[in-house]
Structure 1
Amino acid sequence: MTTTAAAHLRTIALRWTDLRDALASTGTTTWPPAGRMSDYLRALEEADTELAEAARWQAAYNRQFLDRDPRQIGATRPPLRIEILDTMRVVQAALVSCADDIAHAAQRAPISVPAARKADYRTLREARIAHQDRQRAEQLAHADRIDPRRWRFTGTRTAPYAALWLLARIERAPGPCRRITDDEQRRIGVVAAGAAERVERALDIAARTAVIATPCPDCGGRIEMYGGAGAAPVARCTECGHVWTGQEATAA
């Protein structure tokens, strides 16, 4: 599971730039592919929260459209791809929340700066040594506080940084944290798997499977469609083995 979780977290970190590029692109990624077959495919693994979030963003865009200058005629394309924006927001929220929880439990507090104290030194040498000791302690505390390996609860908190920080915890990298527990590792694995799946689905780099509601015209068996990851769709009857490829699949 550690290897799988690590691969998922690397996918998120490496593909985040691709999501940003896709955010403003004019193309669309749809699954199943357009055509009559899409009328018969059931939507797979669509959570209610995803639908609600997408609807909220669409409603916000519609309000902007209605409020624009009435002299503008016709509809305009949304400035951003709503489905990509939704994916980025959901993935980032999930990863940052997971990192917050793991850091609260596993990350130690920064080293405290020693309090100033008034002391009477017998010699100038003793006073100089005490001053140097305090300076070293302050430098150590400052370095520990700004350690880049430390998870931040404020400031910039992005999905790629959260993914890499969680990856470091899984790989037992050194840092201001204790070794995570098995339960914490499983939690990271579940979150990473869900986030990576969303990223791959948004970028169409993962293979997909869908079931067609209409039975096979030859034997009445169930038809499954395979595709995604840039591959042409292929439909196959699970009973008689009849296969439709390319244009045959989209026109079935």
Structure 2
Amino acid sequence: MATPADDLDTITERWPTLRASAGQRPVTSWPPAMGITRLMSEEERQEHAAERADTAPDAPGPRPAPVDVDVLDVMTTIETGLITTADWLAERVQRPAVTAATGRGWSDDVHRQVALIAARDAADPRRWRYTGQQRDAPTAAEWLALRLRSVPGPFRALDDGEREAVARVATMGATLLRRALGEQRRREAVPHPCPVPCGGQLVVEGGDGAPPVVRCEDCGRTWTERSAGAA
């Protein structure tokens, strides 16, 4: 079973893939239309057709830039959550850098040694930085994963509450990433009743690469893209 640290590793490793997918026009939408359009009213069908005509690649007029806005939103959400959590955690567990008293000059051996120790401690690459260019999702995910694994450094050990807070952000981020890449199965209610006499609640499941399925929660009848009959 994946741990929160594993989820953070996933974000670090898959971030380039997510970034690349953001630069592509989406080819699918969620939830998938499937045969649900047959359940729409005539007005809803017309609106659906007009929307498809406006967004089709061969539609007249200027085309939007090839970018997936939904993926960009996911990236912003993940990155903001990770960096905010790293800032919060570092404020709590990261030891302040050693400081050296000034005024004795470099001719004093003790002062020189203490000053060098302070400089090295402040520049320790294991420290989380509150400024600079390395404040991005992969860097924050890697730093948080190391804290969960208690890798030594200028930090104290995390308490249970801190571990739980980081774990929540890690799970959320990995889930959003897998969902954006089509690797996370999703489930969503359909705003139309079951077309058979039961009139029950329909739900659509999919989004993980497997064929999506519409299922009635009352009678159990299912629909797939290949078949409109009951399973």
TM class by smaller structure: 0.7 to 0.9
Q: How many residues align?
A: 208
For residue 155 of structure 1, report the CA deviation from its aligned partner.
Answer: 0.1
For residue 6 of structure 1, report the CA deviation from its aligned partner.
Answer: 1.8
Number of the residue aligned with 2:184:
206
1:160 corresponds, among 125, 128, 138, to: 138
Aligned partner letter, 1:24:
G
Residue 86 of structure 1 pairs with residue 73 of structure 2? yes
For residue 246 of structure 1, report the CA deviation from its aligned partner.
Answer: 2.6
- Superposed CA deviations along residues 216-246 of structure 1, whole A, max 9, x for unmatched, are 2333333322211111111223333322223
Number of the residue aligned with 1:235:
214
In 2, Cα distance between the equivalents of 1:29 and 1:20?
17
Aligned partner letter, 2:29:
T
Aligned partner letter, 2:190:
I
TM value normalised by structure 2: 0.78
Number of the residue aligned with 2:6:
7
1:215 corresponds, among 177, 184, 193, to: 193
Aligned partner letter, 1:107:
Q
Task: List alignment gaps of at least 5 residues for structure 2.
Answer: 41-59
Q: What is the alpha-carbon root mean square deviation over aligned residues? A: 2.8
In 1, Cα distance between the equivalents of 2:63 and 2:123?
46
In 2, Cα distance between the equivalents of 1:22 and 1:98?
25
Number of the residue aligned with 1:141:
118
For residue 23 of structure 1, report the CA deviation from its aligned partner.
Answer: 1.6
Contact 1:227 1:234 in 2 (8 A): yes
Aligned partner letter, 2:163:
Q
For residue 135 of structure 1, report the CA deviation from its aligned partner.
Answer: 3.8
- Superposed CA deviations along residues 32-59 of structure 1, whole A, max 9, x for unmatched, are 1134527979xxxxxxxxxxxxxxxxxx
Aligned partner letter, 2:165:
R
Structure possessing the higher relative contact order (Cα contacts under 8 Å, 6 or more residues apart) = 1
In 2, Cα distance between the equivalents of 1:212 and 1:83?
20
1:213 aligns to what SS in structure 2?
strand
Task: List alignment gaps of at least 5 residues for structure 1.
Answer: 42-72, 120-126
